[in-house]
Amino acid sequence: DGVTEVLARHSESLRDKFVEIPCSEDYDSHKRFEGCTPRKCGRGVTDAVITREEALRVRRIAERGLSLGGSDGGASILDLHSGALSLGKHFVNLYRYFGDKVQDIFTEEDFALYRDVRKRIQQKIAQAFGISSAAMYLTKPTFFSRINNTEAKTTHDEYWHPHVDKVTYGSFDYTSLLYLSDYTEDFAGGRFVFMDAGSNKTIEPRAGRVSFFTSGSENLHRVEKVHWGTRFAITISFTCNPDHGIGDPLL
């Protein structure tokens, strides 16, 4: 792995940490939206936007939803927007598959909290990159992940491969992760790793911590394999292209 530098330790509470890096050329092959498409690129970490208590409430939404299914392998996904839920080696649509039962699992308060958290993260990203929050649109996939050390059963369970979000998803311009559990307390391994030339920059998850970054090749990244315990997070992604925007999930 070469040299590893810790950008954010789980034991410290960071008000704001931001590192600016040169933008890749990935954005040039997509339509540009002035006042939103990244011209300033980088990565940030903050523990000051979402409280630990709010993060644990959000985690309970994930736990209740994933209690309906879950992957046979180590990585389970719950997407409240599309309804995608890991079930065995496949995915089902939560809303179609479970129908009215969904009303017993989630409440309007759950979805209101989800919206509020999403808005605050959006505003934080806009502020850090000097763009208008109104020019950003939520995009898919935006999802909860639950990762443990169960052996991978399908390629969907192989969450640890290095990747670039803009290359993988196309619509992504800004990516964020809200961590819902604690490194070394709830799980080992599972750190987030930016893979820079000559060194790795790692973020140690902590409940309530938000990491965010521009989605191009300037932020090639991966997640370490989880060795024990369970790691919960939610990935919330934004696009500058209104054609790729999605609405908040509705119960």
pLDDT, residue 250, reads 86
- b/e for 91-104, b at 16 or more Cβ within 10 A? bbebbeebeeebee
Find the Cα–Cα–Cα–Cα dihedral 107, 112, 113, 115, rounded to 10°: 130
Beta bridge partners of 139: 237, 245
Per residue of the chain (251 residues), what is the pLDDT tens digit?
567 899 999 999 999 999 999 999 999 999 999 999 999 999 999 999 999 999 999 999 999 999 999 999 999 999 999 999 999 999 999 999 998 889 899 999 999 999 999 999 999 999 999 999 999 999 999 999 999 999 999 988 999 999 999 999 999 999 999 999 999 999 999 999 999 988 899 999 999 999 999 999 999 999 999 999 999 999 999 999 999 999 999 87
Measured in residues, the chain has a length of 251
pLDDT, residue 167, reads 94
How many H helices and E strands in the chain? Answer: 5, 16
Per CATH, the homologous superfamily of domain 4-244 is q2cbj1_9rhob like domain (2.60.120.620)
Q: Which residues are catalytic, by number? A: 231
pLDDT, residue 2, reads 62
pTM: 0.96
pLDDT, residue 156, reads 87
Q: Which residues contact 191 (CB under 8 A, 6 or more apart)?
A: 183, 202, 203, 204, 205, 223, 224
Residue 188 tokens read as 């080992």
